[in-house]
Amino acid sequence: MTVLLELEQCRLSYPGQGRGEPEQLALNIDHLRIRAGERVAVLGKSGSGKSTLLRHLRRQLPQRASWCPQDPSLVPQLKVFHNIFSGALARHSALVNLRNLLLPAPRFREEIAALAAPLGIDDLLWRKSAELSGGQQQRTAIARALYQRRDVLLADEPVSALDRVQGRAILQLLLNAHHSSVIALHNAPLALELCDRIIGLKGGQLLFDCPASDADADAIQRLYQ
Amino acid sequence: MTAATGFLSQSRSLRKLTFYFALIALGCMAFADIGISTRSPAHELALMGQGLLTPRVNDWGQWLEAVTYTVTFSLQGVSLATALGFVFAAYYHRAGVRFVAAALRSVHEVFWALIFIQVFGISTLAGVLAIVLPFSGTMAKVFGEQLEEVDSRPARAVEQPRGGRLSHFFYTRLPLALHAMGNYTAYRMECAIRTSVVLGFIGLPTIGFHLETALRSGDYSAASAMLFTLLALLYSLRFWFRAKLLWLLVPLSFLVRPLSAEWSGDNLQQFLRDCIPAPLREDWGLEKTQRWLLWLGEQVGNGLGNTILLAQIVLVLTGLLALLASTLNSRHFVAGWHRRMGDGLLLVLRSLPEYLLNFIFLIVLGPSMLPAILAMTLHNGAIIGHLLGRHSDELAPAVMESGPLCRFTYFYIPTLYQRFLAYCFYRWEIIIRETAMLGILGIPTLGFYIDSAFEFLRFDVALLLIAVSAILTLSADALSRHLRQRFLASDLNLQKRATGQHEGEVWTTQPR
């Protein structure tokens, strides 16, 4: 399989809190290789460096990866339709984009309605995103990620605000829509079920990195201690 | 040092800051020319009061003409300034754009008008340009800041396409700031109406033109009719200055009073030639040039000195009035119809342009610095007082019950003082700009020398003096920013979003 990207001696740190304070190491990975076609789940408790790793991967893959951030980051004043459409800004000229802001084109309406239906937000498309519940906002952000239509998915806790059944279905949908995925998750059983490779992060370091079938319960338990 | 004066030894004491500002103002008072030179100010005031109670429109045709001009100037000016300011704001991260915007707004509308009247004659184009240029500078700054303050997470969540900055801006940043920008535009429309009235005093055919004629000839009934017209125009804005109607009104304003100018190439060429400093243009010898420079230096020195002197007095008096007047619009002191009356008074005072107030006080009190001091103190004090009072509504009632005086000194002033100072500093730049301009009415600030230079067709001198006043305004802005950063809590900057307070501008719009 071709290599999608490779990290070597990756050390990322936060600036210190005040002047003279030491920098804090957020990520300290000696080597990490991600191959095309893999479905990678990143596990670890909060503050372990999952988001830092994903943001770093995103910087390494400019204009190549669909991005689904932890916080939905929607524009509250825009309709759900336009928030989803903003995933596709790169595909069209500025003129098309601006026209669609004022007069939504039938072609985009159809595309986005089709995309929104399996996510259960097709009846919300013409509401302002500020009016949505947390789970609805998260599904809008997922639709925006899907509408970027790229091969690679980088997603940070994409289903954290959804219930177990819905979360599983939508995660499956996300994985099927992308050739390769790297997804931070807090739900370990879901990761083991749907992904084929598990990366465990603790304190910014790789605790383990193995195929999902080899991951043992003890190792995962240690991540959260 | 005793405990009472201990604040003088503290490095960041707000009391010390206030003390020095008050001391400077007191010092300025000693040098200021303040006096009453009319024989019976009370009599004149009584006549004005009488006129106020008996408003009368002498010629309805003329009245309609004046109102039409006032509204079309403002609408055309604001719509063009909004468009220009918006383009500037989109590129506000570039230093060059910021500089152009600052330069445009540092020159007063009246000075712009004096220049454009020379080039285009008394024409719609001259009036509209005089509004568009400075307003676009101010709007660029406020729009730029509003765009900077928006939540940046959506913009980061959507990758900026290569070469697609524009789409990215329209989808992830503009919608977040649009509401605030709309509110600010409505406030600028209010300012534009005031400005177009003031432009009437220097000859453009707006309400101000007839107001001046009526005041000069002592026809106070006609003047009060015009005054009430101005107040009605400002009050009615909330009903018709709305996005849905503007699609119709703006094009209509350009149809009713199309932009026109009386200008010729020769005229423009002559004007541009006259703008070159005389010694260069006429190729004067060293001695003559030296005399000219000395003469110019004297004007700059006097103009600058008097402008600063007057502005410092006004700044401190404005603060004093604002603190006292804010109680009229504060739930900690007044309620019910008392409050509505109090706030109504502040809103009316705020609506009257300084130029007009100065003109009226000049008739009553005679020429000195006093009319200008009163005019600017009333206008600016009412603006800050209204805002401060409204802000005080957010404070929980004082824990210790006491009489109004104790509540004012022990609770009200201490809790609001930071914000109060922030408002005053924001207003400082504007006070300086206005002080320089009010010289046109006779006090020897920069405007006085600028106006006489125009009168004698010395455009080179006029432009140089305008540049001096622009530099003074820019320095006041820089100093105010420095003091704010040094003395005031940084969270005041975060709160400005909620209260609509922006650098250089203290503004508010009515709830709609």
Q: Do B164 and A73 touch (CB under 8 A)?
A: no
Higher pLDDT, A104 or B499: A104
Residues near B226 by Cβ (< 8 Å), separated by ≥ 6? B63, B66, B207, B210, B211, B214
Instruction: Write out the CATH class of domain B58-263.
Output: mainly alpha
Please tell me which residue of chain B has the smallest CA distance to A82.
B171
Tell me how far apart the alpha carbons of residues B317 and B372 are, in angstroms, rounded to a whole number.
Answer: 12
Query: What pLDDT is stored for residue B348 in this prediction?
Result: 92
User: Are residues A80 and A177 both part of a single domain?
Assistant: no
Structural domain contains residue A97: yes
Which residues form the domain of A124? Answer: 74-149
CB-based contact, B178 to chain A, within 8 Å: yes
Tell me the chain A residues in contact with residue B157 when contact means C-beta distances shorter than 8 Å. 67, 69, 72-74, 141, 144
Distance in Å, alpha carbon of A222 to nearest chain B alpha carbon: 32
The count of C-alpha atoms lying within 13 angstroms of the C-alpha of B328, restricted to the half-sphere facing its C-beta, is 20
Q: Do B153 and A73 touch (CB under 8 A)?
A: yes
Domain end point (choices A105, A123, A149): A149
Tell me the chain A residues in contact with residue B172 when contact means C-beta distances shorter than 8 Å. 75, 86
CB-based contact, A130 to chain B, within 8 Å: no
Q: Pick from B162, B167, B168, B179 the residue to mutate for testing the A interface (most A CBs within 10 Å).
A: B167
Q: Pick from A54, A70, A86 the residue to mutate for testing the B interface (most B CBs within 10 Å).
A: A86
Residue B414's identity, in one-letter code, is: P
User: Are residues A43 and A92 both part of a single domain?
Assistant: no
Tell me the chain A residues in contact with residue B166 when contact means C-beta distances shorter than 8 Å. 94, 97-98
Residues near B313 by Cβ (< 8 Å), separated by ≥ 6? B25, B28, B29, B32, B369, B373
User: Are residues A134 and A162 both part of a single domain?
Assistant: no
Q: Do B159 and A62 touch (CB under 8 A)?
A: yes
CATH value at residue A225? 3.40.50.300
Confidence of residue B500 (pLDDT cuts 50, 70, 90): very low
User: Which ranges of B327-445 would DSSP assign to H, the alpha helix?
Assistant: 336-351, 354-365, 370-392, 404-406, 413-438
Judged against a pLDDT cut of 80, whether residue A130 lies above it is answered with yes
Query: What pLDDT is stored for residue B458 in this prediction?
Result: 92
Confidence of residue B512 (pLDDT cuts 50, 70, 90): very low
CB-based contact, B295 to chain A, within 8 Å: no
Tell me the chain B residues in contact with residue A69 when contact means C-beta distances shorter than 8 Å. 153, 156-157
Higher pLDDT, B39 or B337: B337
Query: B121-125, B144-148, B493-497: which has the minimum mean pLDDT?
Result: B493-497
Residues near A166 by Cβ (< 8 Å), separated by ≥ 6? A120, A135, A159
Number of folded domains that form chain A: 2
Residue percentage of chain B with pLDDT more than 90: 64
The domain limits of chain B are 8-37+281-502, 58-263
Query: What pLDDT is stored for residue B362 in this prediction?
Result: 93
Tell me the chain B residues in contact with residue A74 when contact means C-beta distances shorter than 8 Å. 154, 157
Average of per-residue pLDDT across B147-158: 88
Q: Pick from A73, A80, A93 the residue to mutate for testing the B interface (most B CBs within 10 Å).
A: A73
Average of per-residue pLDDT across A106-113: 95
* Arithmetic mean of pLDDT over chain A: 90
In contact, B79 and B136? CB cutoff 8 Å: no
Average of per-residue pLDDT across B458-483: 93
Judged against a pLDDT cut of 70, whether residue B7 lies above it is answered with no
Structural domain contains residue A102: yes
User: Are residues A157 and A56 both part of a single domain?
Assistant: yes
Residue B142's identity, in one-letter code, is: V
Using a cut of 0.90, tell me whether the model's pTM lies above it.
no
Average of per-residue pLDDT across B23-29: 93
Of B156, B159, B178, the CB nearest to A73: B156
Domain end point (choices A113, A133, A149): A149
Judged against a pLDDT cut of 70, whether residue B507 lies above it is answered with no
CB-based contact, A37 to chain B, within 8 Å: no
Q: What is the pLDDT of residues B91-104, one digit of tens each?
A: 988 999 999 999 99
In contact, A84 and A140? CB cutoff 8 Å: yes
Judged against a pLDDT cut of 90, whether residue B504 lies above it is answered with no
User: Are residues A57 and A98 both part of a single domain?
Assistant: no
Tell me the chain B residues in contact with residue A144 when contact means C-beta distances shorter than 8 Å. 157-158
User: Are residues A142 and A180 both part of a single domain?
Assistant: no
User: Are residues A83 and A112 both part of a single domain?
Assistant: yes
Query: What pLDDT is stored for residue B356 in this prediction?
Result: 95
Q: What's the ipTM?
A: 0.78
Query: What pLDDT is stored for residue B501 in this prediction?
Result: 45
Confidence of residue B406 (pLDDT cuts 50, 70, 90): confident
Average of per-residue pLDDT across B27-45: 88
- Per the listing, tokens 């998750």 go with A185
User: Are residues A139 and A165 both part of a single domain?
Assistant: no
Residues near A143 by Cβ (< 8 Å), separated by ≥ 6? A84, A87, A112, A115, A116, A119, A121
Long-range (24+ apart) CB contacts under 8 A made by B174-178 are B174/B147, B175/A75, B175/A77, B175/A78, B176/A75, B176/A76, B176/A77, B176/B150, B176/B151, B177/B143, B177/B146, B177/B147, B177/B149, B177/B150, B178/A77
Number of Cβ within 10 Å of residue B248's Cβ equals 9
Average of per-residue pLDDT across B254-282: 87
Q: Mean pLDDT highest for which of A24-33, A58-67, A107-116?
A: A107-116
In contact, B36 and B366? CB cutoff 8 Å: yes
Judged against a pLDDT cut of 60, whether residue B8 lies above it is answered with yes
Confidence of residue B303 (pLDDT cuts 50, 70, 90): very high
User: B8-37+281-502 domain in CATH 3.10.129.10?
Assistant: no
CB-based contact, B175 to chain A, within 8 Å: yes
Judged against a pLDDT cut of 70, whether residue B490 lies above it is answered with no
CB-based contact, B494 to chain A, within 8 Å: no
Q: What is the pLDDT of residues A135-153, one digit of tens each?
A: 999 999 999 999 999 999 9
Domain end point (choices A149, A172, A197): A149
Q: Pick from B159, B169, B174, B178 the residue to mutate for testing the A interface (most A CBs within 10 Å).
A: B159
Average of per-residue pLDDT across A17-26: 69
Structural domain contains residue A164: yes
Pairing of strands A197-202, A205-211: antiparallel
